[in-house]
Structure 1
Amino acid sequence: MAEVDISFDRNRLDFKATSEIIKASYWGSRRSDDVHRRAFDNSLCAAAFLGDEQVGFARVVTDYACFAYLCDVIVWPEHRGAGIGKKLISALLDHPELATVGGWTLRTADAHSLYAAFGFEASADGKTMHLKRNG
């Protein structure tokens, strides 16, 4: 497999493909393109590429100081199982503007082991996971 490139450049993002795949997910099925446009515009977005082809996406809603909410982590179906989701998560956790953020949160119904590998721990509701880092 070619090397995966993680980009934070919003100009490279294939908005239509990203919006469509999230709308096809269990968590994004009630969202519209307009909702995604506003959400992406107000988040730190990361996209995964193989060459010029986008194959994954994730974003963080954050104040860049105290909290970060990791969401919309998704890999295109034909590229799942190749570690692309892990690379997206790592790139966001390691982003220099998020280095001092101590409180990270996410919600998942089915990917607990993926996030646990990064130190996230499940909360009592069974879906929300938290990560407390240096702060």
Structure 2
Amino acid sequence: MQDAADFEFSADPARIDLDRVHTWLAVESYWATGRSRAALEAAVAASRNYGIYDGASGTQLAYARVITDGVTFAWLCDVFVDSEARGRGIGVALIEQVMATLEPLGLRRIGLTTADAHGLYERFGFRPLDQPEQWMARIAAPAHPS
């Protein structure tokens, strides 16, 4: 089993393996099923992007992106660890490094939604909303085939 020293964190968007990330999100995730490659590319271009890579092969093992104004607010999203790499602390390392890159910005709020990783995010200070009734979302209706 590899340890954390065998993995490399990067915030360089040029390193993102778009084919791999697209498969993870569009096929394997529960929140972005069916996301088009064009939508992924646009999202990547408009976000801060992060990856964890195998130190020996350079293969991307995890991905996350952050949407932010860089001053007051950020949204952490599309966090995904390859199924074969889970259980090795890669998700923890990814979130730890993402938070370290955001810390100097002094953001007032970082949001996220998750259906299954509350324990991971709680380790980094995320908590359920104190006043969820103040938050609202506009959810687009599913696209209908023509």
- Common topology (TM > 0.5): yes
Alignment-derived partner of residue 131 in structure 1: none
**Correspondence for 1:5 among 8, 13, 17:** 8
Once the 2 structures are TM-superposed, how far is the Cα of residue 57 of structure 1 from its aligned partner?
0.3
**Correspondence for 1:89 among 95, 100, 118:** 95
Q: CA RMSD for the aligned pairs? A: 1.8
Post-superposition CA distance 1:37-77 (Å, at most 9, x none): 00011110001101211100001000000001000110000
Gaps of 5+ in 1: 129-135
**Correspondence for 1:60 among 56, 61, 66:** 66
Alignment-derived partner of residue 17 in structure 1: 20
Paired residue type of 2:127? E
Secondary structure of the 2:111 match is: strand
CA 107–96 in structure 1, closer or farther in 2 if over 3 Å, else same: closer
The structure with the largest strand share of the pair is 1
**Correspondence for 1:29 among 21, 26, 33:** 33
TM-score using structure 2 length = 0.80
Gaps of 5+ in 2: 136-146
The structure with the largest helix share of the pair is 2
TM-score using structure 1 length = 0.86
Moved more, 63-72 or 7-16: 7-16
Rg larger in 1 or in 2?
2
Alignment-derived partner of residue 77 in structure 2: 71
- Does the 8 A contact of 2:13 with 2:48 survive in 1? no
Once the 2 structures are TM-superposed, how far is the Cα of residue 30 of structure 1 from its aligned partner?
3.1
Alignment-derived partner of residue 42 in structure 1: 46
Alignment-derived partner of residue 107 in structure 2: 101
Secondary structure of the 1:59 match is: strand
Measure, in 1, the Cα distance between the counterparts of 2:111 and 2:102: 18
